[in-house]
């Protein structure tokens, strides 16, 4: 009912901006945790922990050290999240200021806000999932993954792919921010 009666689509973006920032924080923590885990395991191998605790009656494969992962470039995603937060604030202020005089022409931008979060190339190893913010996990069945291209690349230790996916997700969020800024400009230009 609310959607059908509204002049301007009643979409709220404030929580979305905060949620995306939370996802970014989770990705940074995941990357740092992976690095710390590999460093600790390599240290244990150097100190002979695995050899000391191995059962001499059972055959085992000696543990090998793993290369430390590179530091990922989160800058594109951080910049996109900041731009999204700023545009959400601008849009919400413009919508409040427009009040009952908000033009329906804003709806064309609002309709596209979900569409720009998709990419026709899809996600790595499953092109049929095109949403760059939410998708079922590759190895978790229907369990949701947030910013799946980046998250799964980090989990699978595909560092170059993680950086590539970060740029793709950042572009989608930048496009979202652009649409909201344009919608805010339409609201501000509306006659009162």
Q: Which of 21, 30, 54 is nearest to 153 (CA)?
A: 30
Percent of the chain with pLDDT over 70: 97
- Of 75 and 55, the structure prediction assigns the larger pLDDT to 75
Q: Based on the number of CB atoms within 10 Å of its own CB, is 147 exposed (0-12), middle (13-18) or buried (19 or more)?
A: buried
- Mean predicted confidence (pLDDT) in 22-34: 97
- Partners of 136 in beta bridges: 144
Say if CB 81 and CB 21 are below 8 A apart. yes
Q: Based on the number of CB atoms within 10 Å of its own CB, is 130 exposed (0-12), middle (13-18) or buried (19 or more)?
A: middle
- Mean predicted confidence (pLDDT) in 10-29: 94
- Partners of 29 in beta bridges: none
pLDDT at 91: 95
Structural class in CATH, domain 12-189: mainly alpha
SS3 123: strand
Q: Write the pLDDT tens digit of every residue in 97-127.
A: 988 777 888 999 999 999 999 999 999 988 9
Q: Write the pLDDT tens digit of every residue in 83-105.
A: 999 999 999 999 999 887 778 88
Tally Cβ neighbours within 10 Å of residue 117.
Answer: 19
Q: Which of 138, 158, 159, 157 is nearest to 148 (CA)?
A: 138
Q: Write the pLDDT tens digit of every residue in 2-17.
A: 555 678 888 889 899 9
Q: Note if the pTM is more than 0.85.
A: yes
Angle at CA 35, nearest 5°, toward 30 and 40? 125
Tally Cβ neighbours within 10 Å of residue 150.
Answer: 29
- Mean predicted confidence (pLDDT) in 122-144: 89
SS3 127: coil
Q: Write the pLDDT tens digit of every residue in 58-75.
A: 888 878 899 999 999 999
pLDDT at 2: 53
Average pLDDT, the chain: 91
- Mean predicted confidence (pLDDT) in 11-35: 95
pLDDT at 4: 58
Per-domain boundaries in the chain: 12-189
**pLDDT of 174 strictly over 70:** yes
């Amino acid at each position: 009912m609310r959607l059908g009666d509204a002049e301007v689509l009643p979409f709220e973006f404030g929580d979305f901006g905060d949620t995306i920032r939370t996802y970014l924080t989770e990705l940074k923590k995941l990357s740092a945790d992976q690095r710390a885990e590999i460093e600790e395991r390599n240290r244990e191998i150097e100190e002979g922990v695995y050899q000391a605790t191995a059962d001499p009656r059972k055959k085992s494969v000696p543990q090998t050290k793993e290369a430390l992962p590179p530091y990922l470039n989160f800058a594109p995603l951080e910049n996109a999240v900041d731009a999204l937060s700023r545009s959400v604030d601008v849009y919400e202020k413009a919508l409040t200021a427009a009040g009952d005089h908000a033009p329906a022409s804003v709806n064309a931008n609002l309709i596209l806000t979900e569409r720009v979060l998709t990419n026709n190339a899809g996600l790595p190893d499953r092109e049929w999932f095109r949403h760059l913010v939410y998708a079922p996990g590759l190895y978790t069945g229907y369990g949701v993954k947030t910013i799946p291209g980046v998250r799964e690349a980090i989990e699978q230790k595909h560092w170059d792919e993680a950086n590539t996916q970060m740029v793709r997700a950042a572009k989608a969020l930048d496009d979202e921010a652009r649409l909201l800024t344009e919608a805010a400009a339409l609201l501000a230009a509306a006659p009162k």
